Structure 1
Amino acid sequence: MSDTHLPLKIQIPNQGWKQFLTARDEMLAAYDKARVLSGKRAVQTGHGIVAEAEFRKWLINFLPKRYGVTSGYIISQGLPNSDHIFHYDVIIYDQLESPVLWVDENPDSSLSGRSMAIPVEYVQGVIEVKSALKKRNVEKAVEQLAHLKPLMAFTEPSNQPSKLYLPKNFFCATVFFELRKEDEMDFAALDALVEASTLRGFYGGYVLRVDTLDKYYSGKISLIMQDEDLKSPNKSLFFWATSKSKKVSEGLYLKTQLNHSESYFSEFAFDIIALLKGTYHPNVLSSFYGMGTTQWEAGHAADIRYFNPDDVKRYEEETEKFFGTKQSGTNSC
């Protein structure tokens, strides 16, 4: 029997793509439990706190051990003591090099729930986590990220003895645990998020779950550039949608765009690693690990779902009338 093997090549879907999604499922299960329990309280904030904690827990398990994950504060030697110190949901930092200036202990919190103060030069990324994608939550997330502007104003050479600003490869992003049916037409949420597009290193956002879409689908909010102010033909945040244009300069406009796919959890996860390593490119897959969809597994080269099944049915009926024969091969769901 020959031991000769053919050279390996990238496979899609590849090994373990559904298993990789179990981490997302675990985050959502904990969030859903907290949301049910929170519903019995006068002030319903418990599920939001759990969302932050579960996301940090996942990052701690997923990221290379060089990177620490905490909630807390970013401290710069360049800011006076009179300035307010802001708290961030998720700080990713170089834990091999960074000292921890202080720790806010909470006896009711796990180790991953402690708030730590990290020197600015060791902070690699900041992520704001909210329960649901809606205008109010987006505005809060953008407002919080905007507090980083004084620390983004300049980049410093690596041999600068006293660092005052965030590193060159710093990134920031937003995460929303769900997009609910009641917020399907809240296009203003994307308009609010585009305001963060001019922040240095702004990645966009990720939505863990979208109501009414299939189990594995999640949403990715990306930045797109255009050379003119084009109106957005939005129908639903459950399909795809874009924000209003934000003019950056003459002939340059930025938008946020929301799309959905079963592969977006893995794309988002490995984008984070690429951002931390400084190798991220918005138009290139950061990794093929975890890449797969049920459509690909069924042998389809593209997604065969349709936004509006009634439109598909009407198209089939009109086509049948025109050609006089029933058309086959059109799939709807």
Structure 2
Amino acid sequence: MPNKLKIEFPVQGWKQFLTSKKEMLDAYDRARVKAKTQQVETSHGRVAEAELRKWLSSFLPKRYGVTSGYIVSPGLKSTQKTPHFDVIIYDQLESPILWFEDSPDVTPQGRSLAIPVEYVRCVLEVKSNFSSSTVHEAIEHLTELRPLMDSLDDPQDKYKLHLSENFCCGVVFFNLQQVHQFSEKALSNLVKGLELRGFFGGMILRGEGHTKDITGKLSILRSETPTESCIGKDKSSLPNMGMTKSVKITDNLHFLAMLLWTEPYFSEFGFDIIAMMQGTYEVGRISSFHGMGATGFEPT
């Protein structure tokens, strides 16, 4: 009887999986160089959004469409402003498209679509650089979803008004610059995401000064006891790891933000989103071993 396979580490194709991340960063860097010739440097930010949508569209199961655009609910007044979001992942097998707007980004993912609320599965805010101001802006923009996430529709309700039970949201940053390497405020601003249903943190694709192709994982942790920040010139820098001072909720409940870096986090980010949208995500368990690997574990 043949031997039964067991999970290997590194797994097949883990380096190839990371090429998608490299392609995103290469496109972003080209746009950043071109942007330096402009009076207002904004084009590389639009490229970052478009490249993330492009990767997600090629990576996610075909059930899921990826677009920028609007989330529409019959529960909101027609006079209420509909915010625009960088990345909306939705059930494209079931969802109608209420309207669309063309964009200078001529790819299919570049158009802004209006998606009915019940078919939206995930929203991501994308920023070029990780800093206290960009984290604050990203979380503040996600809070515009609050009217759609503060309640759940009854499964028997014929007309859906709110985001689905398995909805998730997060933030993605393309770069962590050295100038922000000791910014505890940048990381602590992430804790405000606790107010958002389905908020899981996010990722940073690159930290300046890294020699390996590692990805930063942004997460919020809970603790029964208070914790102190480990970030500072005489402590640790964000490109190494970061942990903020905790926020007290009750005597036995505290929350803090953490940033860790490894090569597998890019894969973990993608498969965790799939698991969350499908309702199979488990805290503390790897959602998939596909794409898992690290240079230090490669056989010599």
Normalising to structure 1: TM-score of the pair?
0.86
Q: Which runs of 5+ in 2 are unaligned?
A: none
Q: Distance in 2 between matches of 1:292 and 1:196?
A: 30
Give the residue type in structure 1 aligned to 2:280: T
Superposition RMSD in Å: 1.3
Q: Distance in 2 between matches of 1:286 and 1:9?
A: 16
8 Å contact 1:72–1:116 — kept in the other structure? yes
Give the residue type in structure 2 aligned to 1:58: W
Q: Distance in 1 between matches of 2:182 and 2:105?
A: 38
Normalising to structure 2: TM-score of the pair?
0.96
**How big is the shift at 1:250?**
4.2
Secondary structure at the counterpart of residue 139 of structure 1: helix
- Choose between structure 1 and 2 for higher RCO, CA contacts under 8 A separated by at least 6 residues: 2
Distance 1:264 1:84, change over 3 A: same
8 Å contact 2:104–2:110 — kept in the other structure? no
- Give 1:193's match in structure 2, choosing from 190, 195, 203: 190
8 Å contact 1:194–1:243 — kept in the other structure? no
**How big is the shift at 1:298?**
4.8
Give the residue type in structure 1 aligned to 2:248: K
Distance 1:236 1:108, change over 3 A: closer
Q: Distance in 2 between matches of 1:40 and 1:129?
A: 23
How many residue pairs get matched? 296
1:163-202 matched pairs, under 5 angstroms? 163-202=160-199
Give the residue type in structure 2 aligned to 1:204: G
Match of 1:7 in 2: 4
Secondary structure at the counterpart of residue 195 of structure 2: coil
Distance 1:154 1:249, change over 3 A: farther
1:1-333 matched pairs, under 5 angstroms? 5-106=2-103, 109-234=106-231, 235-298=236-299
Distance 1:247 1:77, change over 3 A: farther
Percent sequence identity is: 49
Q: Which runs of 5+ in 1 are unaligned?
A: 300-333
Distance 1:170 1:243, change over 3 A: same
Task: Give deviations 1:228-283, integer Å, cap 9, x for gaps.
Answer: 22211222101111123233344211111000001111111111111111111231
Q: Distance in 2 between matches of 1:246 and 1:298?
A: 43
Task: Give deviations 1:197-245, integer Å, cap 9, x for gaps.
Answer: 2210001010111111123111001111011222112221011111232
8 Å contact 2:214–2:261 — kept in the other structure? yes
Give the structure with higher Rg (CA). Answer: 1
8 Å contact 1:98–1:118 — kept in the other structure? yes
